[in-house]
Amino acid sequence: MNKTADYRFTIIVPVYNEEDNIYTLEERLRAYLPATAAGGQPACALFVNDGSKDRSGERLREICGRNPHFYWLDLARNSGLSAAMKAGIDATYSEYVGYMDADLQTAPEDFDLLLPHMGEYEMVMGIRTGRKDSFVKNMSSRIANGFRRMMTHDGVEDTGCPLKVLRTDYAKRIPFFTGMHRFLPALIQLQGARVKQVPVRHFPRVAGQSKYHLWNRLAGPFMDCFAYRWMRKRYIDYRTGDTNL
């Protein structure tokens, strides 16, 4: 166990070269976390530094040093978003685990729209409304979402929305692979989990640069859909019964 066990909800924030957003992240999460405690869902933030090459790691240590509900975890090298999410989930022992991007294109306050549904669902995720991305990014996302829905039958409109909450015990059983973050709803459904979608706000990026381009938004997910279909037929889902261990 670790300090996240003292909370009901852990917000994982993967960080890769986001030094210009770190202090804004601190301000927004520092304002939000006390409200979660007042609402009966005490939360902490776990920043996973994915081998950043700028000053992100240094600034994360700085803000975690002055905020009691902030924690950080370094990856030894840059391993990608899926690896950073897996590392955060593996390190989490609260009842619920959430995820948001460091670019603040979604608001931490909108977790309050998702958390009330966690008693009925194993995963609740956002649908970005009024997206503030470029035409190319919006169109490529729409194409990728449509193809993924056809291949996975997960029924999810916007799997790319970075605002998600999962039951931690289910999250820890998700089979992880590179590109997994695009398939979280489909992967958790392999366990018989129920997924709900809730509209959330979306904002333009105000600092730093996007890590995604046309290739990793279309070609990568296209190939990963076939990997998911292969794995779905071979997925092992079991629950243990009594034991004398």
Contact of 197 with 156, CB cutoff 8 Å: yes
For the record, the structure tokens of 237 come out as: 């889902």
pLDDT value for 90? 95
For the question of whether the overall pTM of this predicted structure is more than 0.75, the answer is yes
- Read off φ and ψ for residue 79, nearest 5 degrees: -125, -5
Residue 9 has pLDDT above 50, yes or no: yes
Least confident among 28-42, 176-190, 217-231:
217-231
pLDDT digits (tens, 9 = 90+) for 162-204: 899 999 999 999 987 777 778 889 899 989 999 999 999 988 8
Higher pLDDT, 161 or 245: 161
Average pLDDT over residues 8-15: 97
pLDDT value for 213? 47
**Average pLDDT over the chain, rounded to whole?**
86
pLDDT value for 115? 95
Residue 159 has pLDDT above 90, yes or no: no
Higher pLDDT, 38 or 109: 109
Contact of 94 with 10, CB cutoff 8 Å: yes
Which residues touch 120 (CB under 8 Å, ≥6 apart)? 194, 196
Q: Supply the DSSP string of 111-179, one letter for each residue.
A: HHHHGGGTTT-SEEEEEE-S--S-HHHHHHHHHHHHHHHHHH----S-TT---EEEEHHHHTTSPP-TT
Average pLDDT over residues 98-107: 93
Amino acid symbol at 140? S
Q: How far is CA 23 from CA 26, 30, 43, 122, 180, in A?
A: 5, 10, 19, 32, 28
Percent of the chain clearing pLDDT 90 (strictly above): 57
Least confident among 107-111, 161-165, 236-240:
236-240
Higher pLDDT, 91 or 231: 91
Residue 142 has pLDDT above 90, yes or no: no
pLDDT value for 226? 74
- With b meaning 16 or more CB within 10 Å and e meaning fewer, what string describes 131-150? bebeeebeebbeebbeebbe
